[in-house]
Amino acid sequence: MTAVSTRVCYTLQPLPVGAVAGTQMSSDSSKKRKPKVIRTDGAAPDGKRSKADAEQDVKYYSEETEVDLRDPGKDYELYKQTCEELQRLMAEIQDLKSKGSKDSAAEIEERRIQSCVHFMTLKKLNRLAHIRLKKGRDQTHEAKQKVDAYHLQLQNLLYEVMHLQKEITKCLEFKSKHEEIELVSVEEFYKEAPPEISKPDITLSDPHHQTLARLDWELEQRKRLAEKYKECLTSKEKILKEIEVKKEYLSSLQPRLNSIMQASLPVQEYLFMPFDQAHKQYETARHLPPPLYVLFVQANAYGQACDKKLSVAIEGSVEEAKALYKPPEDSQDDESDSDAEEEQTTKRRRPTLGVQLDDKRKEMLKRHPLSVTVDLKCKDESVLHLTFYYLMNLNVMTVKTKVTTAVEMTTPISAGDLLSPDSLLNCLYPGDHGKKTPNPANQFQFDKVGILTLNDYVTELGHPYVWVQKLGGLHFPKDQPQHTVTADNSLSASHMEMTMKLLRTRLQSRLALHKQFASLEHGIVPVSSECQQLFPAKVVSRLVKWTAITYEDYLELSYTKDIVEAGLAEDTHLYYMALIERGTAKLQAAVVLNPGYSSMPPVFSLCLTWKGERTNNNDDNIRAMESEVSVFYKELSGPKPGYQLLTNQLQRLCVILDVYLETESHDNSVEGPKEFPQEKMCLRLVRGPSRMKPFKFNHPQGFFSHR
Amino acid sequence: MAPQEMDVQRALELLHMSVFSQSVSPCGKYLAAGNSYGEIGIFSLSAALSAEAKEESKKPVVCFTAHDGPVYALTSTDRQLLSASDGELKAWNWAEIVKKGCKEAWSRRPPYRSSLEVPEINSLQLNLKDNSLLLAGGDCTVHAMDLETGVFTHALRGHTDYIHCLALRDQFHECLSGSEDGSVRHWDLRTGGQVQAIEVHKYEECSRPQYGKWIRCLATDSDWMVCGGGPALTLWHLRSVTPTTVFPLAPAQHHAMFYQDLILCAGQGPTIYHLQLSGDIRARIPCSPPALHSLCLNQRSPEHKVLTAAGSSHKIDVFTNFGYRAFSLAFA
């Protein structure tokens, strides 16, 4: 006990020292110390020893509560003082020890005791601090838990709110099916509906009930209509059955009629009335696609009415056509099928893209199995065979041509292109080359399968001339890229006569040229007796060469530039080169033959090689010679329809070359006789400012004058 | 078919057209041009020269057929346009032409001796001093006509071949004529007699037998004369009758004129030459027709002062600055 009390004393003792060191804080610290002391005292009756073993719980408890009573700031001050005290004591002990005096042992002992007390204080403080920390942690934890709970609650509530709001909007947005039903108007409803449904006393004031009532009325009406529909169906079926019966009767009639027809055939033959044949043709014609049908009908009509030498026939397999057109939906199915097939093929044959494109192209350029042939006979029994095809997928018509002549003709080399199916019908109408597709929609189709122009396929398919489309009643306006094209009879009819006449003229003019070329190649310019008066009896210049040249060759000639620039030479025209000679003078004539010959004149460009090269560029007289044949061609046309124009032009060229050479002024300073003595009778040798030579021949008198 | 045929026909005609003559209207705003098909085209210079000139304004305002033969010569009095063709002289009132009505005012035929062939009139020359007109051509005679009465007063005979060109020396009451026979003759208009004849082809300096002896162009200025054609273009002193300068131009020249201290001339070949009196070539101006038949300088209207050149083409070149071709008028 004494030990304890002394310890307490000790603990108390240093305090004033600390207070002294701590200066102002002394009074506070003393106050604090007191309760602690008291408490220790309070615990003291139980004994400090007992604290060590028996009374630990109580002590712990007291310390717990003590924590609440003490001010942590003051404890901190105490802690500082204690530490200082300890430091001081330690320093003193060290001093004493270093002095090494004997009496110092006691003093050291005393100081040790004091420092032990201080250690106790420190320990106590440490404990207190731990307890405080623990308490603080507990409190924080508790508070946190509470907050979490509240937060959770809040979340739940929010969610609930949201859900409720959604429900509300769902309810608000709800659409009843009845809104889609078209009801009769309110007035009508009250007028027509029986009062037991309309119940005007209730519904007039309550829109909800009103709607219900209207719906009831609607249901009522619909039921009635459904009944009516059923009735109609049954009557329809009845009628269908009747039709079937009648059809059966009709089909039984057909064989009978056939047998009658068969029986009548000999009679028809006997009477020269080919009704049956025509009938058969009409039968086949039914399977023609619309444009060919229009063409067939119109050509037939025109042939019967105006042109007995025109014959029309249908060629090709009717079976295939039938297969193509059997039920009208088939075509659609076909398309979808082919689409599906195409898809399959793309999957299957991806590596061979080229083959697949080729197939697509073939499909696109497919012709209708039936074709219409029109044979135009001319007076001399030569025939122009025209075969018209219809390209189903492109919706254009094409034509192939062939000429058979009455007499076998030897083909002159230069006449190669004259009757060739490629160029025979070129520009039948101005600008109609038959190389581009007239249907603007086709270009888009071509783009898909990689066809650049139809031109590459023209030899195989035939030419899609615009007039062919018109004969088939197809009209493609230029400004509209896509539109439905239907075969129009009136369009076809309006073009039939003109086109047939043009075709015949074209054939005849080509045949005439064909014949003329044969003799031209032998250097003979055929002049018919009717045209004899256009030329003098004696013509010395001779045609020595007549050859066909290509467009490119023509362009390269130096003296054709003006003609090309004037747009009179296009690649669809035919080009020839004539060489006329007299003595040392050679006259080259490049000839452009317009496909529209002979209504369009051939155009001549001249180049005279005689004492230098003379063309229209350096000699006005050469220019005049050109105009003499190219511009004043009308007087050379000969008897109608003017097929002798070309030969007459050539003959005139020979004549005026004579005139040119004979009237060329002689240079007296040069020795020797004139190469070309003047044999032609001329009134005057030169005339006018441009010193023209007399190129105009006056028939009965036989002299030359100026134009 | 028919329009297409017409197009080709007209295209061919244009291709082979020659424009032989030109004349400017008294107001200086219009140019009349006569072509080889007997058509006279009236071009509006003011429209073609304006800033907003379109392609359309380079086409004739009016184009009418005046003669059966080519229109070889045109000239303008202060009221009328005179056109000459085969044996026929016609007058057209400018006021009416411009308003697009083109009825001839009158027509005259010079008295011809032969009847087998109608001689052409190649040149017209207006003599303002006594209001008369000189015309010459196929009958080798220069006729003088009084414009007041329409009476043919003189016939100056002497040439042995047809006359190409006329030039007037009005201060001396004299005129010059150049002919196919190779001579330039000098006439006194008061007496109707021949003053002298210069046989150009006999002078070695300018004779060119390979081209022939014909005199195609003639121009005069006081005592000086320039003439050319078959013989080389030569400047002559008239009083002494000597060729002073022979110009070194190879092609035959069809038209020559004095302009300030220069001679402008053109002929075979697409070139207009500016010549100095000393004989140097000052400039060669390219133009579009392959051969030129006439040059026309519009001096009647200062704001439309241009040089126009016509020849073997349906185009008439217009030179605003004489150094280069500005644009072309064209028959359509």
User: What confidence tens digit (pLDDT) does each residue in A639-691 have?
Assistant: 877 888 888 999 999 999 999 988 887 666 666 677 788 888 888 888 888 88
Task: Please list every residue in chain A whose beta carbon sits closer than 8 Å to the beta carbon of residue B122.
Answer: 688-689
Task: pLDDT band for A409, please (50, 70, 90 cuts).
Answer: low
Interface contact A600-B164, CB threshold 8 A: no
With respect to residue A44, please indicate whether it lies within any of the assigned structural domains. no
pLDDT tens for the 332 residues of chain B, in order:
456 777 888 888 998 999 999 999 999 999 999 999 999 999 999 999 888 888 888 999 989 999 998 999 999 998 899 999 988 899 999 888 877 677 888 899 988 877 678 889 999 999 888 889 999 988 889 999 999 898 998 899 999 999 999 999 878 888 999 999 999 999 998 888 898 999 988 888 888 888 888 999 999 988 899 999 989 999 999 888 889 999 998 899 999 999 988 999 999 989 999 999 888 999 999 999 999 999 999 988 888 899 999 999 999 999 998 888 999 999 98
Local structure of residue B319 (DSSP, 8 states): E
A563 closest CB neighbour out of B15, B69, B70: B15
Interface test with B, best of A498, A690, A692, A693 (most B CBs within 10 A): A690
pLDDT single digits (tens) A2-59: 333 334 334 333 433 333 333 344 344 444 443 444 444 444 444 444 444 554 555 5
Structure tokens at A543: 């045609």
Q: Is A669 on the interface with B (CB under 8 A)?
A: yes
With respect to residue A18, please indicate whether it lies within any of the assigned structural domains. no
Q: Is A77 on the interface with B (CB under 8 A)?
A: no
- A243 and A202 together in one domain: yes
- A189 and A214 together in one domain: yes
3-state SS string over A662-679? Answer: HHCCCCCCCCCCCCCCCC
pLDDT single digits (tens) A264-319: 877 777 776 666 677 777 778 888 888 888 888 888 888 888 877 888 888 888 78
A104-173 and A14-22 helices, crossing angle to 10°: 60
Name the residue of chain A whose CA is nearest to B121's CA.
A688
Interface contact B72-A689, CB threshold 8 A: yes
pLDDT > 90? residue A392: no
- A627 and A483 together in one domain: no
With respect to residue A608, please indicate whether it lies within any of the assigned structural domains. yes
Task: Please list every residue in chain B whose beta carbon sits closer than 8 Å to the beta carbon of residue A601.
Answer: 8-9, 12
Instruction: Estimate the share of chain A in helix, then strand, then coil, as percent rounded to the nearest 5.
Output: 60, 10, 30
Domain end, chosen from A240, A273, A306, is at: A273
Name the residue of chain A whose CA is nearest to B116's CA.
A683
Adjacent-strand bridge partners of A581: A542, A586
With respect to residue A435, please indicate whether it lies within any of the assigned structural domains. yes
- A614 and A694 together in one domain: yes
With respect to residue A230, please indicate whether it lies within any of the assigned structural domains. yes
**C-alpha torsion angle, residues A26, A27, A32, A34 (rounded to 10):** 110
Q: How many residues does chain B have?
A: 332
Structure tokens at A590: 């490049």
Nearest of A620, A388, A364, A617 to residue A496 by alpha carbon: A388
- A122 and A217 together in one domain: no
Task: Please list every residue in chain B whose beta carbon sits closer than 8 Å to the beta carbon of residue A505.
Answer: none
Report how far apart, in Å, the C-alpha atoms of A301 and of each of A306, A473, A526 are: 8, 14, 40
Strand order in the sheet with B271-276: B253-259, B262-267, B271-276, B281-286
Q: Using CA atoms, how far apart are residues A697 and A659, in angstroms rounded to an integer?
A: 10
Interface test with A, best of B16, B20, B37 (most A CBs within 10 A): B16
Nearest of A221, A411, A360, A384 to residue A299 by alpha carbon: A384
- A222 and A254 together in one domain: yes
Shortest alpha-carbon distance between residue A455 and chain B (Å): 25
- A640 and A556 together in one domain: yes
With respect to residue A448, please indicate whether it lies within any of the assigned structural domains. yes
- A538 and A596 together in one domain: yes
Q: How many CB pairs under 8 A join A and B?
A: 90
Task: Please list every residue in chain B whose beta carbon sits closer than 8 Å to the beta carbon of residue A430.
Answer: 1, 4
Task: Please list every residue in chain A whose beta carbon sits closer than 8 Å to the beta carbon of residue B18.
Answer: 620, 623, 690
Q: Is A705 on the interface with B (CB under 8 A)?
A: yes
Report how far apart, in Å, the C-alpha atoms of B139 and of each of B70, B160, B196, B211 are: 17, 9, 20, 23
Task: Please list every residue in chain B whose beta carbon sits closer than 8 Å to the beta carbon of residue A620.
Answer: 18, 291, 312
Least confident of A145-159, A222-236, A274-288, B52-66: A274-288
Q: What is the pLDDT of residue A247?
A: 93
Q: Whole domain around residue A491: which residue ranges? A: 285-324+354-507
Task: Please list every residue in chain A whose beta carbon sits closer than 8 Å to the beta carbon of residue B5.
Answer: 596, 599-600
Interface contact A631-B209, CB threshold 8 A: no
B12 closest CB neighbour out of A429, A630, A687: A630
Task: pLDDT band for A437, please (50, 70, 90 cuts).
Answer: confident
Name the residue of chain A whose CA is nearest to B3's CA.
A430
With respect to residue A564, please indicate whether it lies within any of the assigned structural domains. yes
A6 CB neighbour count, 10 Å cutoff: 13
The H-or-E segment that residue A445 falls in is helix A442-449
Shortest alpha-carbon distance between residue B134 and chain A (Å): 17
Shortest alpha-carbon distance between residue B271 and chain A (Å): 12
Shortest alpha-carbon distance between residue B82 and chain A (Å): 17
Q: Using CA atoms, how far apart are residues A69 and A79, in angstroms rounded to an integer?
A: 17
Task: Please list every residue in chain B whose beta carbon sits closer than 8 Å to the beta carbon of residue A684.
Answer: 117, 138, 162
- A409 and A482 together in one domain: yes
For residues B40 and B98, is the Cβ–Cβ distance under 8 A?
Answer: no
Interface contact A688-B5, CB threshold 8 A: no
What residues of chain B have any CB closer than 8 angstroms to a CB in chain A?
1, 4-5, 8-9, 11-16, 18, 20, 69-70, 72, 116-117, 120, 122, 138, 162, 164, 180, 209-210, 212, 214, 216, 254, 268-269, 290-291, 293, 312
- A383 and A472 together in one domain: yes
User: Residue B215 class from Cβ within 10 Å (0-12 exposed, 13-18 middle, 19+ buried)?
Assistant: buried
Structure tokens at A129: 């601090």
Amino acid letter, residue A348 = R
Interface test with A, best of B18, B202, B215 (most A CBs within 10 A): B18
Q: Three-state DSSP class for A550?
A: coil
pLDDT > 70? residue A470: yes
For residues A176 and A211, is the Cβ–Cβ distance under 8 A?
Answer: no
Domain end, chosen from A251, A273, A295, is at: A273
Task: Please list every residue in chain B whose beta carbon sits closer than 8 Å to the beta carbon of residue A563.
Answer: 15
Number of domains in chain A: 4
Interface contact B12-A603, CB threshold 8 A: yes
With respect to residue A497, please indicate whether it lies within any of the assigned structural domains. yes
Name the residue of chain B whose CA is nearest to A615's CA.
B290
Q: Is A701 on the interface with B (CB under 8 A)?
A: no
- A547 and A597 together in one domain: yes
Q: Using CA atoms, how far apart are residues A486 and A474, in angstroms rounded to an integer?
A: 6
The structure's pTM equals: 0.67
Mean of the per-residue pLDDT values of chain A: 79
Domain end, chosen from A507, A539, A568, is at: A507
B120 closest CB neighbour out of A562, A599, A687: A687
Report how far apart, in Å, the C-alpha atoms of B148 and of each of B77, B132, B151 are: 12, 8, 8
pLDDT single digits (tens) A506-562: 888 888 888 888 888 888 888 888 888 888 888 888 899 888 898 898 999 888 888
Q: Using CA atoms, how far apart are residues A127 and B5, in angstroms rounded to an integer?
A: 129
Interface contact A568-B8, CB threshold 8 A: yes
Interface contact A689-B210, CB threshold 8 A: no
- A147 and A117 together in one domain: yes
Structure tokens at A257: 């009629």
Task: Please list every residue in chain B whose beta carbon sits closer than 8 Å to the beta carbon of residue A707.
Answer: 69
